[in-house]
Chain A
Amino acid sequence: MRYRYRPVFDGHELIAFAYWTGEQVQHYYVKKSFFVQSLLDSHTPTVPYQHVIKSLDKITLKDYPPEVQAGVKQLRLGQEALTDELPQLKQARTNQELREFVNWFRRKASEDYGKHIKLLSAI
């Protein structure tokens, strides 16, 4: 399956990848500290739908959760691209497959956008 994706920047800093799954825009946040508050406590389920946006083309700052809006100074979208490499999350059945999903974004951030981000050795 081909995914469309766009890097999302705050000024020049890569903060996320927005990707189109065919139904909704999803995000992989490179800058995870946006969510420190909600992630501090492992007991509480997160509300990922807050991060879901309907269109990849028309993302604006107001589409993002409050913690992101508060942390971003200048939202800027990079060029849209296509990939066949991004593993489908719904097909991931092992820790290794989940790791590959995360590492795709981490690798992309490192290799294509110069963000030094460590690959997960194992999840």
Chain B
Amino acid sequence: MGYTDEELKASGVEPENQGDRVTTKEQSANELDGMPTRALQRFRPSTILKANKELVKQARGIEPELLENKQAIKDVEVYAEALGNPNIIDNILVGGIEGSCALKHELVEINLLRKSGWDIYDSHHIEQIKQLFAQSIETGEPQNYIPFHLQAMKTELEYAQALLQKKGIYADLGMIAKVLYHLDLDEELFKKDIYTSKLEKTQLELEALGIHYPTHKPIKEELKNAL
């Protein structure tokens, strides 16, 4: 997805060969004013690709196979911004298996949305997608509203499981979800009689996927460290 060369020319933007062209100092903010969002996004350097260089140095690099399609990475950044949820990027920038899985989730979700005819660059579509999430939370029936998110979640968990197995660690998907989504923190709050909606929502999503959530089952240290 993206603007055609003709569309870019019409908006005053020269078509590019690569999707991650960096805005130079010479290109003033004024120069970019009035440019359509989709074209403007293409001028921004990729936060994920830039941060990954540092993550690699820390031995927590994102899985290289996930970074091959630079436009797809850009799309993830656009999607996170459009949803108004910078946490999506923050989770990816954790790096390692956890960050890789967060990225995998978004790549799959965007792909599934597209296959269903949604355009993440269309603000009206984004509003509708947000409404689907809202209805899912309101009704507690994610399977009826956000199948794209559920499928992405399942793929993410299975991806984590496969990466862990490469390290010789086996864990079931429910336990991986607990660690990956930091639900142990919510469980700690429950022990203090403090309720959080996050655990209720995530368990409903896991249930819709047929994944059993291991309530209060302790997390093995090696699993936590590996993720």
A residues at B contact (CB < 8 Å): 21, 23-24, 26-29, 31-33, 35-46, 48-49, 52, 88-90, 92-95, 98, 101-102, 118, 120, 122-123
Contacts and interface: CB of A to CB of B under 8 A. Distances in A.
B198 A46 contact: yes
14 contacts: A31-B138, A32-B201, A33-B135, A38-B198, A39-B198, A40-B130, A40-B133, A42-B181, A45-B186, A48-B189, A48-B195, A52-B194, A93-B215, A118-B140
A88 B193 contact: yes
Contacts, number: 108
Interface of B: 83-85, 87-88, 90-91, 98, 102, 130, 133-135, 137-141, 153, 180-182, 185-186, 189-205, 207, 212-213, 215-216
Contacts of A24: 194
B203 A123 contact: yes
A77 B182 CA distance: 34
Nearest to A44: B87
Contacts of B190: 89-90, 92, 98
Contacts of A93: 215-216
Q: Which 9 A-B pairs have the closest CB atoms?
A: A43-B91, A44-B87, A33-B134, A123-B203, A32-B137, A42-B181, A90-B193, A46-B198, A36-B134
B196 A46 contact: yes
Contacts of A42: 153, 181, 198, 201-202, 205
B200 A123 contact: yes
A10 B85 CA distance: 26
B137 A89 contact: no
